[in-house]
Amino acid sequence: MKVTRGRKIATYICYVLIALWVLGPIYWILNTSLHIEPEMLSKFPPLVPSNPTLSNYSFIFNVEAVMRERLEKGLATFFLPTIAASLPVAIRNSAIIGVVVMVLNLIFGPFAAYTFQRIRFRGSYSLFLSTVLTRLMPGIAIILPLYAVMKMLNLLDTYLAVIIVHSMFTIPLSLWISYSFLEGQPLEIEEAALIDGYSRFEVYSKVVFPIMKGAMVAVGLFSFMLSYSEFLFAFLLTQTDASRTVPVIVAAMGANPVMPRTIMASAGTIAMLLPVVVFILMRRYIIRGLTAGVVVGR
Give the pLDDT score at 126.
86
| Secondary-structure class of domain 85-297 per CATH | mainly alpha
Eight-class DSSP state of 81: -
Give the count of beta carbons closer than 10 Å to the beta carbon of residue 70: 14
Residue 298 has pLDDT above 70, yes or no: no
Q: What is the pLDDT of residues 229-257, one digit of tens each?
A: 999 999 999 988 889 999 998 888 877 77
Burial 252-264 (b: 16+ CB within 10 A, else e): bbeeeeebbbbbb
Range 127-137 average pLDDT? 85
Structural domain boundaries in the chain: 5-72, 85-297
Which helix (H) or strand (E) segment holds residue 101: the answer is helix 87-118
Quote the pLDDT of residue 134: 83
Mean pLDDT for 100-112 is 92
For 15-43, what is each residue's pLDDT tens digit?
999 999 988 888 988 988 888 877 777 77
* SS3 call for 49: coil
pLDDT computed for residue 33 by the predictor = 87
* CA–CA separation, 221 and 282 (whole Å): 8
Average pLDDT, the chain: 83
